A and B are shown apart, each in its own frame.
Chain A
Amino acid sequence: MNRRLIQLYSALLYNAHLRGFAEGKIYTGSLKTVCAPGLNCYSCPGASFACPLGSLQNAVAASADRPAFYVVGLLLLFGLLLGRVICGFLCPFGLIQELIHKIPSKKLKKSPLTRKLSYAKYGILVLFALAIPAYYALQKLPLPGFCKYICPAGTLEGAVMLLLHPGNDALRELTGHLFRWKLTVLVMVLTACVFVYRAFCRFICPLGALYSLLAKLALLGIKVDKTLCTDCGACVRVCKMDIHAVGDRECIHCGTCIHVCPTKAISFRAGKIVLHGPSLPERGTKS
């Protein structure tokens, strides 16, 4: 199972409107009725699906007119079927962070402090993605708080990609304090990712926070065979995320732990079906 390849394919699928990059325009087809499971700005010139987090905020902002059934239902289904496998395999911004983390430098490892910081994303989810849009919805002012003030994915995939295009002079003239603020957030997040593995996912991402609430129920993901597990802790030690146990709310199901388990208790499953594990050697590897 080549996770990097799946990440690349999914990033390409999310941004399959390649002509948009050349033209500096976004895709306006009906595929955008559907949200992609991972974070990918719908203002990216290549985006062929809607952003789930942006759609959620806009649905909350419009909830005075109609309840946000559609987006909440989609997020619930994504969470139940895939859970945080989405973060590990199907998130283009997760891939970007992982690639940036490959830049040689001193790396900050997980610690009790980073574990505490991992709770910040729940506060950001409640405040910026739910409370602010809901508050302004009461005043009939749509305001996606997270998109507007924080989202570095929107700045990188949407703003930077659109503003770099020579034909978008009109957009460039509109940039002001808010854009400079968002660019600062983007630079800070990307810089942090050089030193801290997936800093945005671990401490900020409201979408990961949402999916983590369904982590224990998700059909697909890393599962531990309790009858084989000896609680040696090798899996938790090798993991770069702030997990307490494999498969918990912080686990992004990357599968790094599968091959360090001395008792082969860890596997990647869909329900009871083993998709990848120590008992199933990877294609091309010698047994």
Chain B
Amino acid sequence: MTHRQALWAVLFCVGILLVVLGVLNGGARDVLAKAVKICSECIGLG
């Protein structure tokens, strides 16, 4: 395994861990809560 492949594997595991932690800490719920409302900033209203 090259250094690059090892780094990829470590970062991939970190990514999975972050997603799991994010689901557990309510981050995923925050994304949904924001995405289901019209984003007034995005469309230039406020």
B41: which A residues are within 8 A, CB to CB? 143-144, 147-148, 154
A58: which B residues are within 8 A, CB to CB? 30-31, 34
**Contact status B18-A158, CB under 8 Å:** no
Q: How many A-B residue pairs have CB under 8 A?
A: 162
Segment from A119-127, A174-182, A240-248 that makes contact with B: A174-182
A67-B25, A73-B21, A80-B15 in contact; A175/B31 too (CB < 8 A)? no
B16: which A residues are within 8 A, CB to CB? 73, 77
**Contact status B8-A179, CB under 8 Å:** no
With an 8 A cutoff between CB atoms, is A43 at the interface? yes
With an 8 A cutoff between CB atoms, is A97 at the interface? no
A77: which B residues are within 8 A, CB to CB? 12, 15-16, 19
Is chain B's interface secondary structure helix, strand, loop, or mixed overall? helix
**Contact status A59-B27, CB under 8 Å:** yes
With an 8 A cutoff between CB atoms, is B1 at the interface? no
Q: Report Cα–Cα, A33/B11, bound state, in Å.
A: 23
**Contact status B25-A54, CB under 8 Å:** no
Q: Report Cα–Cα, A30/B36, bound state, in Å.
A: 9
**Contact status B11-A80, CB under 8 Å:** yes
**Contact status A42-B39, CB under 8 Å:** yes
**Contact status A71-B11, CB under 8 Å:** no
A140 to chain B, nearest CB (A): 15
A43-B43, A154-B43, A171-B45 in contact; A50/B31 too (CB < 8 A)? yes
Which residues of A (212-227) have their CB < 8 Å from a CB of B? 214, 216-217, 219
Which residues of A (134-188) have their CB < 8 Å from a CB of B? 143-144, 147-148, 151, 154-155, 158-159, 162-163, 171, 174-176, 178-183
A50: which B residues are within 8 A, CB to CB? 31-32, 34-35
Q: Report Cα–Cα, A163/B41, bound state, in Å.
A: 14
B43: which A residues are within 8 A, CB to CB? 41, 43, 154-155, 158-159, 162-163, 171, 179, 182
B21: which A residues are within 8 A, CB to CB? 67, 69-70, 73
**Contact status B31-A32, CB under 8 Å:** yes
**19 extra interchain contacts, Cβ-Cβ under 8 A, other than A144-B42, A158-B43?**
A26-B38, A28-B36, A43-B38, A55-B34, A62-B30, A67-B21, A68-B27, A69-B18, A70-B18, A73-B15, A147-B39, A148-B42, A155-B44, A159-B42, A174-B40, A174-B45, A179-B45, A181-B44, A214-B11
27 CB contacts below 8 A, A to B, read A33-B35, A42-B39, A43-B39, A50-B32, A58-B34, A66-B30, A67-B27, A69-B18, A69-B21, A70-B18, A70-B27, A71-B22, A73-B15, A73-B20, A73-B21, A73-B22, A77-B19, A148-B42, A155-B43, A158-B38, A162-B43, A174-B45, A179-B44, A180-B44, A181-B44, A217-B4, A217-B11
A-B pairs, 8 with minimum CB distance: A70-B22, A73-B18, A70-B27, A159-B43, A154-B42, A69-B22, A182-B44, A73-B19
